Amino acid sequence: MSDPILFTRDLWVRVHDPNGGGSPIAVVRGANIELQRGATTCLVGESGSGKTVLMRALLGISGARPGVTAGTAWARPDGSEFPVPLVGPRKRWRGRALPSLRPGWAGYVFQHPSHSLDPLLRVGDQVGASVTIAHSGLTPAAVKRRVLHWLETVHLPNPEAVAQLFPHELSGGMAQRVAIAIALATEPDLLVADEPTTGLDWSVRRDIVDLLGELCRARGMSLLLISHDFQVVEHIADQLYVMFRGELVEDGPRRAFFEPGPGSHPYTRELQARSRALEEGSSPPRLHLAEQPTSSGAGCVYAHRCPWIREPSPERSALGERCRSVRPPDFRPSSDHRVRCIAVGEPT
């Protein structure tokens, strides 16, 4: 049974070259994504793969570069659908984006907690601002009660004292908990966390991710977790999307990624190998950056880096030519698992 809270159909985002030359570059290519109600969806890909742009275009948050969008997105906050006004980063400061249509419907936790808090306002006041988005017309005392409640919810010790602090007095982990409290205080149906663990100590990363998972389960909230690291998402993902150069190359439920089964995309394997190596402390496999991606747009987006055509086995010797010229079809090992790769679909 599928009950998405937010979904997109063939969503494209193009940005203009900052140097002003040529036609816009597509940074998100035809994304179909579904966020199920009450489930944790993870969007995985290396930095620059377009995950953040996708999320921003969808949720109406400004981007650094001007661009245009195409495609459709629909939100279903309470069963009834309405189209999400896609915000090209160009219209960043105006336009009726999702946040102004449904204030407090979605909460956001960004990377680098030190940047997502106002450095000169007390923690309590910042959480308080979110409280007033969810409930207008509260007395200051009632706001304060809720602020303390939210600080407690994210397991901050001694909320009374923390509320009086300024962000620079918090450790990274505490600051990220505060950022989560700020997002939670708007009482959202959907929580979006964009690389919530970058800039944090290894020891704290796991805590933050576990906290996010726990909060979403307890409150029946949907979670969209964006990360480059499979180890981070492994514990809590229900549904995964893997993104490379703007394309969703693979998606499926968690078992498709973390249990042995029929093929997964070579890029997924690369990411998994990298995060495994990072965790074991050995140096991650080197990237083959020598070859430039094809600019024509034909062929597989991963072709310039794919190990299968770089070191072809005898059975796959003819692969390279096809990968570079033919757009790979979607292969479905099972009904809910999709891999966009020529080789995975063919018996070797």
Partner 1 sequence: MTLSSLWTQRHRQDQMGPVSVFGFGVLIGLVGLRIAAMFVDSSPRLGLQDEQLLPAMAGPSWDHLLGTDQLGRDLLLRMVDAVEAFFLPGLFACLVAALIAVPTGAIAGYWEGSKGAAVLRGLLTMISAWPRLVLVVVVVAIFTGSVRDPAAWAEVRLYLLGGLVGLSYIPQLGGAVSERVQHFRREQFVEAARAHGLSDRRILLWHILWANCRHLVLRHTCTLFGAFILVETSLSYLGDYGVPPPRPSWGNILAGVRHSVVHSRSLMASSDSWSPAGLWGGVEQAIQHGGLLGVLAPTIAIAVSIAGVLALAEHYARRDRP
Which residues of the shown chain bind ligand SF4 in the complex (CB under 6 A)? 266, 300, 302-303, 306, 308-309, 319, 323, 328, 341-343
Q: Which of 16, 76, 112, 276 binds partner 1 (CB under 8 A)?
A: 112
Phi, psi of 208 (to 5 degrees): -65, -45
Burial class (CB in 10 A: 0-12, 13-18, 19+), 198: middle
When the beta carbons of 172 and 307 are compared against partner 1, the nearer one is: 172
List the interface residues with partner 1, window 268-327 (CB under 8 A).
none
Q: How far apart are CA 173 and CA 36, in angstroms?
A: 28
When the beta carbons of 237 and 323 are compared against ligand SF4, the nearer one is: 323
Burial class (CB in 10 A: 0-12, 13-18, 19+), 158: exposed
167: helix, strand or coil? helix
Q: Which of 32, 70, 85, 118 binds partner 1 (CB under 8 A)?
A: 118
- Binds 86, which of ligand SF4, partner 1, none (CB < 5 to 8 A, cut-off by type)? none
Distance of closest approach, residue 177 Cβ to partner 1, in angstroms: 14
Where does 177-258 show beta strands of DSSP type E?
Answer: 190-194, 222-227, 239-244, 247-253
Number of residues that bind partner 1 (CB under 8 A): 41
- Binds 95, which of ligand SF4, partner 1, none (CB < 5 to 8 A, cut-off by type)? none
Q: Does 77 bind partner 1 (CB under 8 A)?
A: no
- Three-state SS for 91-126 is HCCCCCCHHHHCCCCEEEECCCHHHHCCCCCCHHHH
Q: Does 166 bind partner 1 (CB under 8 A)?
A: yes
Long-range contacts: 25-32, Cβ < 8 Å, 24+?
Answer: 26/246, 26/297, 27/53, 27/67, 27/246, 28/53, 28/54, 28/57, 28/246, 29/246, 29/247, 29/301, 30/71, 30/247, 31/71, 31/243, 31/247, 31/248, 32/7, 32/8, 32/248
When the beta carbons of 161 and 273 are compared against partner 1, the nearer one is: 161
Distance of closest approach, residue 174 Cβ to partner 1, in angstroms: 10
- Binds 237, which of ligand SF4, partner 1, none (CB < 5 to 8 A, cut-off by type)? none
Q: Which of 6, 54, 61, 127 binds partner 1 (CB under 8 A)?
A: 61
- Binds 308, which of partner 1, ligand SF4, none (CB < 5 to 8 A, cut-off by type)? ligand SF4
Q: Which residues bind partner 1 (CB under 8 A)?
A: 59-62, 64, 93, 99-100, 102-108, 110, 112, 115-121, 126, 129-130, 133, 157-158, 161-162, 165-166, 168-169, 171, 179, 182-183, 186
